[in-house]
A = this chain, B = another copy of it.
Amino acid sequence: MIYLDNAATSFPKPEIVYEAVLNNMKNYGANPGRSGHKLALEAGRTIYKGRELVCRLFNIDDPMQIIFVSNATDALNLAIKGVLNQGDHVITTSMEHNSVLRPIKAMEANGVENTIVQCDNRGVLDPQLIREAIKTNTKLIVTTHASNVTGTIMPIEEIGEIAKKHGILFLVDAAQTAGVYDIDVEKFHIDLLATAGHKGLMGPQGTGILYIKEGVEVRHFKEGGTGSKSQELLQPLMLPDRYESGTPNTPGIAGLAAGIEFILEEGLDKIRKHEEGLTQYFIEGLKKIPEIKIYGVQDAAKQAAVISINIGDEDSSEIGYVLDKVFDIGVRPGLHCAPMAHKTIETFEQGTVRFSIGYFTKKEEINAALEALKNICEQL
């Protein structure tokens, strides 16, 4: 299969990711941070190494501020619900995924107000609108780094400046950009960074990351065994233990660490250029097919390697089905768990056919996708 669904999960992974998972499971599959024997210590070291690698990638000082969770949704729920209290106000955008919008909507029942800033129909956010939405009780700004529907990159550096200036916490959802784009929590004034481990970071599914800036108070929602302060019936408040009750996904984190090592070895620049090149090439090819409508900014320098299209008024699921069945090409049609983004780009009824490119995508695969689309257009 030609896999163009990397925005859902990257596939394949680098060989060293498979090896790291298997090596953990077969050779030191003990419970980290608990028992203290050789295998348990080795498992614990792997997890600590994972934290250090995350720090290197995002310019974070202290590995203990890295919380391993099960996916980006888990990280976003923890961050959003952990900092917002009754009477607070939160600002987000109309291009967010349901993993941001649903928790924010759920918080309305807890007396947390929200403003959802409208992006234009290419998914572009005007930071001035964020500035204007700020109220005296604004506690948090949440934005995706790049839309999972159109790939549109948000001006997070500028939003970070605004947040900092107003003393507002800034949470970035980097699910579509971590491992491809340079994300510097210091430079961008990011207080909370949430991301998946299994997309651009090339780790296994079942992994996610939340970075919490030192001093930012985030409520915890789970208590349990932490391997620390076992004598107490209250959850310990030290990081990362406070948020990591129970046995962690050690093989997953071992794989994630290997994925980040691979990224650091290759270099973000090389990875981004590869994806950018193929994205631009794909967009140029798409533009030559008159029946195709392309969404977003249509400029690889301003979008992640996510390209949403439609063919006339055809149902996106139908096109996705034909691409899979007839052409053996895997894409994701529909609403991509981001209904408001589809309202924003005016595709709420039709959905879009989303192609998403990864570091292992080849030019021939893009050519095959373009050929398949031409073919479908001719048949219609």
Contact = CB atoms under 8 A, between A and B. Distances in A.
A218 interface: no
A39 interface: yes
Given A73-B245, A225-B337, A204 B332 contact: no
A8 B40 contact: yes
Contacts of A225: 73, 97-99, 337-338
Contacts of A1: 37-39
Contacts of A324: 36-38
Interface in A319-367: 320-321, 323-324, 328-340, 348
B106 A235 contact: yes
Nearest to A228: B337
State how many copies of this chain the complex holds: 2
Interface residues of A, number: 86
A223 B98 contact: yes
B25 A13 contact: yes
Nearest to A220: B106
A65 interface: no
Contacts of A26: 12, 18
Nearest to A105: B233
Contacts of A328: 38
Contact of A8 (B30, B101, B222): B30
Contacts of A330: 30, 35, 37-40
Contacts of A252: 204-206, 249, 251-252
A231 interface: yes
* Residue with the greatest number of chain B CB neighbours at <10 A, chosen from A102, A224, A232, A335: A224
Interface string A75-94: 01100000000000000000
Nearest to A348: B231
A9 B247 contact: yes
Interface in A276-290: none
Given A221-B77, A247-B9, A248-B206, A36 B235 contact: no
Given A73-B222, A74-B222, A206-B70, A233 B34 contact: no
Contacts of A335: 230-231
Given A102-B233, A332-B35, A337-B226, A71 B11 contact: no
A246 B72 contact: yes
